A and B are shown apart, each in its own frame.
Chain A
Amino acid sequence: MTKEAKKPFRQSVAEWRQFVYNPDSGEFLGRTAKSWGLILLFYLVFYGFLAALFTFTMWVMLQTLSSDIPKYRDRISSPGLMISPKPDTALEFYFNKSDANSYAQYVSTLKKFLESYDDSKQSENINCTPGKVFDQNDVADKKACRFNLSELGQCSGKEDKTFGYSKGTPCVLVKMNRIIGLKPEGEPYIQCTSKEQGMVEINYFPPGGSIDLMYFPYYGKSLHAHYLQPLVAVQLAINSNSTNEEIAIECKILGSPNLKNEDDRDKFLGRIAFKVQMTE
């Protein structure tokens, strides 16, 4: 006993058309032009006010911020590790030591990366006292410490323009993320291990993979414009019988109690894992 039958389709279409534009009352979508005008004006004023308020709060907030040092560093108490070159896909190096094209990308990335470490770029940098944190809190003009490319030895790209890739001893640069004010304790150094024993021999430049404390702390990009991160080059001398095999390597930062390297979730906090596979 339905009270009224369903409205025929035609009628509901007509109702819709009536709603979209009603020629009798001049209503468009249920409102006349004047009504639309008024309501749009209202919302214009309303949102204008809100936007102004928002802009003003943002402005006030930015005024309270220092352009040198972030207010808080709650999420970055400990730095992540990263390597260069960084393969596009996952951290997996695939190259053929006899095919220059297969590693051209890595080489050019390294070259480009090391450009900023070139002596010519470091003219303003000073030689700091090794082994000591270089505190410049009281100095307005923060100096950057010089990082000599020669410390990277065979991985500096000076002698071997292919960074060892052509010889089966590829170089990977390990660096620590910049965090303002971070002062590592102890004597931090990078240590890389391969899961599989005997497949690869690992050399570090500077020796022992040490990261000198004199490059810390970092004072932020505006105060510390010429700052250069200390680098550790890891040279992987792949055994000739291990070519064509995938070698998993994990690098960690050790020797510093305040640099985390065992976080459950963050696989890049104080450590990094990558794979190398070399063919002939």
Chain B
Amino acid sequence: MKKEMDVDDHKLELPDLEAKYSTSITKGLVGAVAAERLLRDGPNELRPPRGTPECVKFGRQLAGGLQCLMWVAAAICLIAYGVQEGQGDRGSADNLYLAIALIAVVVVTGCFGYYQEFKSTNIIASFKNLVPQQATVIREGDKLQINANELVVGDLVEIKGGDRVPADIRIISAQGCKVDNSSLTGESEPQTRSPECTHDSPLETRNIAFFSTMCLEAGPHPDTQASPAGTATGLVINTGDRTIIGRIASLASGVENEKTPIAIEIEHFVDIIAGLAIFFGATFFVVAMVIGYPFLRAMVFFMAIVVAYVPEGLLATVTVCLSLTAKRLARKNCVVKNLEAVETLGSTSVICSDKTGTLTQNRMTVAHLWFDNQIHTADTTEDQSGQSFDQSSETWTLLSRVVTLCNRAQFKAGQENIPVAKREVIGDASETALLKFAEVTVGTVSEARGRFPKVAELPFNSTNKFQLSVHAAGDRQLLVLKGAPERVLERCSTVMIKGQELPLDAQWREAFEGAYADLGGRGERVLGFCARWLPAGTVAAGTDPEALPEVAVGLCFAGLVAMIDPPRATVPRAVLKCRTAGIRVIMVTGDHPITAKAIAAAVGIISEGSETPEDVAARLRVPLEQVDPRQARARVVTGAELAGMEPGVLEGILRAHPEMVFARTSPQQKLVIVESCQRLGAIVAVTGDGVNDSPALKRADIGVAMGIAGSDAAKNAADMILLDDNFASIVTGVEQGRLIFDNLKKSIAYTLTKNIPELTPYLIYITASVPLPLGCITILFIELCTDIFPSVSLAYERAESDIMHLKPRNPRRDRLVNEPLAAYSYFQIGAIQSFAGFTDYFVAMAQEGWWPLLCLGLRPRWEDTHEQELQDSYGQQWTFEQRRYQQYTCYTVFFISIEMCQIADVLIRKTRRLSLLQQGLFRNHILVIAIVFQVSIGCFLCYCPGMPNIFNFMPIRFQWWFVPMPFGLLILIYDEIRKLGVRRHPGSWWDRELYY
């Protein structure tokens, strides 16, 4: 799958090509043949990746780790119910209710999760562009306009500036045609397309234009002498999914989605729960058998214990917590497609970022100027808020005039009120940059152009590598020329320094070379500018443009202008934040290594003072081979180097150099890079916008696509979408992801704790044969009603420390649910809660006439439905119904005890390390509301008339609310002691065993 494209059409001569596709390069295909081929190959469009059917999506919601646990539990309940029914046991409907409740929870949370994903999918779908594309095709010698999806292999098509290339085409003839391959390679530099084969690789050669790339609009043609630029004719060689872009897109769909870290964590946690449940169940099965229960009865006990271990409310808690964070992220412009991805960003340890559009603004901008033998820095900020340079020199006057006049780009009409940076321009990227630069620094360009009307012009072409125009300037003419600096310099004899024309001697040439190399080394595209005053009439209007170069000699060199696609203003800070958060940012781009390195350095991916092996070699003046890789923190690896690497070498490089830039990479190589990082144990986030990024996006633990610039393929493959295309939003995502991991831990700890006080009544019921202290329906009310809100409210808890200064969690070591968490929740806090419950239970029993010692062993008679005169400790006789209501009273009392202790529990779970007082007891308002809610529900359940017979809640005596409170206080105090120990003695036994 990872083998590179095998296209050789670019190497074929035209007649061979004609033969291969049995077509004509002048007349095109015959209509009938075209129709036949259309039928054979199918329409020329990308088959949308087979969307997962809705029912499968919904099914997936029902099949997570926790969900499976609950399905199994429900099945066990049904079996137990069946067994009990078979025995003719009364009151065994509890198991049926439990099974129904479990299934209901799975289905309801499934619906909820599905709805969440459905909503975010809708947001994404709204980006889709549904306008059908047109293509100009020549068939049987006639030029036709047809829908692009009707194109077939062998069709002769014409493209012009502004068109999207309708298929993979082999160029047959072209005039100044340039394409923007950024959606394919990530490189924003326009690339010339011409009929010659220039490279072995189909991706690099000039004579193939790819499906869905843009053919750039050339500047306007004010005079007809210039050949119509930006057009090409080509032969369709691939259509639809067989195009390069189609293959990349299908590459993405072939990549399996990795399990999210949180899904792995939840599975791990389910393992723990299931293990403990079976261990406890089996232990008490044996105990029950030893006590002398019949086998079936012991079996029912076993099943009941296993089921009691299932935290019914946890699934809802996790889903709600994740979707709360997803909502919070959506407000910050991160839309999450898959709820679990919310946390993945938090675990991320490596971000592989695309350059163009993500780290950069995706627009060429003038960055530097060299004139008066000095490099000046231009303002590259998005909103023109930066510093400008000194514009007093007369050289600048000349340079700015050349920049203004020797430029064919122009603003589209009617944009006067829009900031310059945002205006739309007709023209290529460099000219656009220069136009905008001139508009901002000098003033209205059209006015200046009006003052110096154009007399003649020679547009840029690849042979001359310059462009020149002659303008009337009153009684003189001004010849302006711009182009590749070395070509420009050839035509100069003087140089302007501080308004003085000085002869261009060797010293100035050296200065020029130095500045050129310097700017080029910054990854900037450098253009040279020069001018010369001519007497009026030197060039007559309508002069043949080809004659113009002869006039353009002995010019005066004005300066160099360097352009770059500058980094977004917010990116360096975001990269720095990632760095402090222990996240490695790796740049993976299709662009040139030099540009990539320059941008990497500008945004801090390569930090100040870091050197690549090449830098070290240059500094030490030794050959590259002798450089110790450990001396170089940074490294730039190109796609070509990558292709020649043995497997495993890349991992070594990734390990050796903390700061990595990959340039000129192909989509497959991006995939390889991501996989290598994953093999090193990293959790990898990939950001990207182009189709070329989609396989890597899919492969990544979390793929982040750009909402504005992103292609549909990228958005489809991604797990998260940045609506503002801003890399800085990722940092927000990381922060939220880390917070939710911490808070989920707290929520889970809170939710797990009450499992023990729910389980112990049953264990004591089996072993000590006391009347059942806590019923199944009551447990369900705790799990699914009163305790949900408090556990969710922990998701609103603030971070305990600056989580962005910590290293990303180690997925192997820092588990969501670890041993100390389970032990502390189950065996310590849970134990205290159980004691609270039993204290309250025995109090309620004793005060109603059943002393603790009488209760032991009472169960068989207590549950005997024929026993209507059971004596209590005072000699009173109770009917079965009266005992049943007493049992419900116990349920309620136990329920209230758990609730009271859970209030203490939710408070202690606010922090894992800090003291409650440091965190602020009431700062999380949602949590306070949740506690009030919990108590209100408790009151309602107790005191609402009718409850005894519907849900087995009894109106209990007021003082029984107070019995468990000392235990709640004990929980608070004990946890404060625990936290104090953990803070005071990091690394101690106490810390190891009790810090979760």
Inter-chain CA distance A47–B830, complex, in Å, is: 12
Verify B255–A1 contact, CB threshold 8 A: yes
In the complex, residue of chain B having the shortest beta-carbon distance to the beta carbon of A90: B866
Is residue A58 contacting chain B, with contact meaning CB distance below 8 A? yes
State whether the Cβ of B880 lies closer than 8 Å to any Cβ in chain A: yes
Q: How many residues of B contact A (CB 8 A)?
A: 46
When the two chains form their complex, are residues A70 and B848 in contact, meaning their CB atoms are under 8 A apart? yes
Given contacts A80-B882, A177-B879, contact A62 B846 (CB under 8 A): yes
- How far, in whole Å, are A269 and B1 apart by their CA atoms in the complex? 80
Report if B801 contacts A (CB, 8 A): no
Given contacts A75-B848, A75-B882, 8 further A-B contacts (CB under 8 A): A47-B831, A70-B876, A75-B889, A178-B877, A179-B876, A220-B874, A222-B875, A269-B881
Whether B835 contacts A268 by the Cβ 8 Å rule is no
Is A39 an interface position by the 8 A CB rule? yes
Give the docked Cα–Cα distance between A73 and B989 (Å). Answer: 51
Q: Which residues of A contact B (CB under 8 A)?
A: 1-3, 38-39, 42-43, 46-47, 50, 53-54, 57-58, 61-62, 65, 68-76, 79-82, 86, 89-91, 177-180, 218, 220-222, 224, 227, 263, 265-269, 272
Instruction: Give the Cβ gap from A56 to chain B, nearest Cβ, in Å.
Output: 10
- Closest B residue to A4 by CB, please name it: B679
- The closest CB in chain B to the CB of A43 belongs to B827
Q: Does B521 lie at the interface of the complex (its beta carbon under 8 Å from any beta carbon of A)?
A: no
B889 touches A177 (CB 8 A): no
- Is B878's CB within 8 Å of the partner chain A? yes
For B835, give its contact among A3, A50, A71, A177 (CB under 8 Å). A50
**Given the contacts A1-B256, A76-B882, A177-B869, A70 and B874 also touching, CB distance less than 8 Å:** yes
| A residues less than 8 Å from B966 (CB atoms) | 57
> Are the C-beta atoms of A269 and B879 separated by less than 8 Å?
yes
B885 adjacent to chain A (CB < 8 Å): yes
Nearest-neighbor residue (CB-CB) of B883 within chain A: A75
Shortest C-beta distance, A143 to chain B (Å), equals 16
Given contacts A50-B832, A58-B839, A76-B882, contact A65 B846 (CB under 8 A): yes
- List, in ascending order, chain B residues with CB within 8 A of A263's CB: 881
In the complex, are the beta carbons of B877 and A71 less than 8 A apart? no
How far in angstroms is the closest Cβ of chain B from A223? 9
Query: Who on chain A is nearest to B834 by CB?
Result: A50
Given A46-B828, A58-B852, A69:B874 Cβ within 8 A: yes
Residues of A within 8 A of B880 (CB): 266, 268
Query: Is B878 within 8 A of A75, CB to CB?
Result: yes
Distance to closest chain B CB from A84 (angstroms): 9
List residues of chain A with CB within 8 A of the CB of B882. 75-76, 80, 266, 269
Interface residues of B (CB under 8 A from A): 1, 254-256, 258, 678, 827-828, 831-832, 835, 838-839, 842-843, 846-849, 851-852, 866, 868-869, 871-883, 885-886, 889, 949, 957, 966, 970, 989, 993
Quote the shortest CB–CB distance from A65 to chain B (angstroms). 6
Q: How far is the CA of A53 from the CA of B258 in the complex (A)?
A: 50
Q: Is there contact, CB below 8 Å, between B831 and A268?
A: no
Nearest CB on B from A121, distance (A)? 17
Q: Chain B contacts of A43 at CB under 8 A? A: 827
Bound: A1/B678 CA distance, A: 14
- Give every chain B residue within 8 A of A218 (Cβ-Cβ): 875-876
B877→A75 contact, CB < 8 A: no
Partner of A74 from the list B835, B866, B872, B957 (CB cut-off 8 Å) is B957
Residues of B within 8 A of A61 (CB): 839, 842-843, 846
CB atoms of A268 and B874 under 8 A apart: no
Cα A69 to Cα B873 in complex, Å, equals 10
* Cβ contacts under 8 Å, A178 to chain B: 875-877
Closest CB of chain A to B812's CB: distance in Å? 14
B879 contacts A268, CB within 8 Å? yes
Q: Which residues of chain A are near B878, meaning CB under 8 Å?
A: 75-76, 80, 177
**Would you give 29 A-B contacts (Cβ < 8 Å), ordered by A?**
A1-B1, A1-B256, A2-B256, A57-B839, A62-B846, A62-B852, A65-B851, A70-B848, A70-B873, A72-B848, A72-B957, A74-B889, A76-B876, A76-B878, A80-B869, A80-B877, A80-B878, A82-B868, A91-B866, A177-B869, A177-B876, A179-B876, A221-B871, A265-B949, A266-B880, A266-B881, A266-B882, A269-B879, A272-B868
Contacts of A1 in B (CB 8 A): 1, 254-256
Most buried by A among B258, B872, B882: B882
Chain A contacts of B889 at CB under 8 A? 74-75
B126 to chain A, nearest CB (A): 31
Residue contact B847 to A268, C-beta cutoff 8 Å: no
Asked if A62 and B876 sit within 8 Å, CB to CB, the answer is no
Q: When chains A and B are docked, how far (Å) is the Cα of A53 from the Cα of B964?
A: 12
Whole-angstrom distance between the Cβ of A178 and the nearest chain B Cβ? 5
A215 nearest CB across to chain B (Å): 14
Q: How far is the CA of A101 from the CA of B701 in the complex (A)?
A: 82
Complex CA distance for A218 and B873, rounded to whole angstroms: 14
- Alpha-carbon separation in the docked complex, A92 to B964 (Å): 46
> In the complex, are the beta carbons of A80 and B993 less than 8 A apart?
no
Given A50-B831, A54-B838, A73-B848, A179 contacting B877 (CB threshold 8 A): yes
Contacts of B848 in A (CB 8 A): 70-75
Complex CA–CA separation, A62 to B842 (angstroms): 10
Q: A39–B993 Cα gap in the complex (Å)?
A: 8
B869 touches A82 (CB 8 A): yes
Q: Are A75 and B868 closer than 8 Å at their CB atoms?
A: no
CB distance from B160 to the nearest CB of A (A): 42
**In the assembled complex, which residues on chain A have CB atoms less than 8 Å from the CB atom of B1?**
1
Q: By the criterion CB–CB under 8 Å, are B877 and A72 in contact?
A: no
| Nearest A-chain residue to B878, judged by Cβ | A76
The verdict on A268 contacting B868 (CB below 8 Å), with A58-B839, A70-B847 known, is yes
Q: CB distance B876 to A180 under 8 Å?
A: yes
Per CB-CB distance, the 9 closest pairs between chain A and chain B, nearest first, are A221-B875, A80-B879, A177-B877, A266-B881, A70-B849, A71-B847, A268-B879, A268-B868, A220-B874
Q: How far is the CB of B672 from chain A (nearest CB, A)?
A: 12
CB of B708, distance to nearest CB on chain A (Å): 31
Residues of chain B within 8 A (CB-CB) of A58 are 839, 842, 852
How far does the alpha carbon of A37 sit from the alpha carbon of B881 in the complex, in Å? 49
Chain B positions within 8 Å of A221 at CB level: 871, 874-875
Complex formed: what's the CA distance from A71 to B828 in Å?
Answer: 33
Contacts of A62 in B (CB 8 A): 846, 851-852
- Given A53-B835, A62-B851, A74-B889 in contact, is the A266-B876 Cβ separation under 8 Å? no
Q: Say whether A80 contacts B868, CB under 8 Å.
A: yes
Give the chain A neighbours of B879 by CB distance below 8 A: 80, 177, 266, 268-269
- CA separation between A3 and B842, bound complex, in Å? 56
**Cα separation A268 to B868 with both chains bound (whole Å):** 7
Residues of chain A contacted by B847 (CB below 8 angstroms) = 65, 70-72
Residue of B nearest to A227 (CB): B875
Interface core residue of B831, B877, B886, B889 (most chain A CB under 10 Å):
B877
Interface centre among A50, A91, A227 (most CB of B within 10 A): A50
Chain A residue at minimal CB-CB distance from B839: A57
**What chain A residues lie within 8 Å of B254 (beta carbons)?**
1
Min distance, Cβ B117 to any Cβ of chain A, angstroms: 24
With both beta carbons as reference points, the residue of chain A lying nearest to B848 in the complex is identified as: A72
B-side contacts of A267, CB under 8 Å: 881
Task: Find the B residue at minimum CB distance from A225.
Answer: B875
Q: Give CA–CA (A105, B878) in the complex, Å.
A: 25
Contacts of A72 in B (CB 8 A): 847-848, 957
A209 to B279, CA, bound (A): 59
Closest to B678 in A: A3
Distance in angstroms between the alpha carbons of A187 and B862 in the assembled complex: 32
CB distance from A79 to the nearest CB of B (A): 7
| Chain A residues, CB < 8 A from B831 | 46-47, 50
Docked pose: A62 CA to B847 CA in angstroms:
9
**Chain B contacts of A38 at CB under 8 A?**
989
Name the distance in Å between A250's Cβ and chain B's nearest Cβ. 14
Q: How far is the CA of A76 from the CA of B877 in the complex (A)?
A: 9
Inter-chain CA distance A53–B874, complex, in Å, is: 27
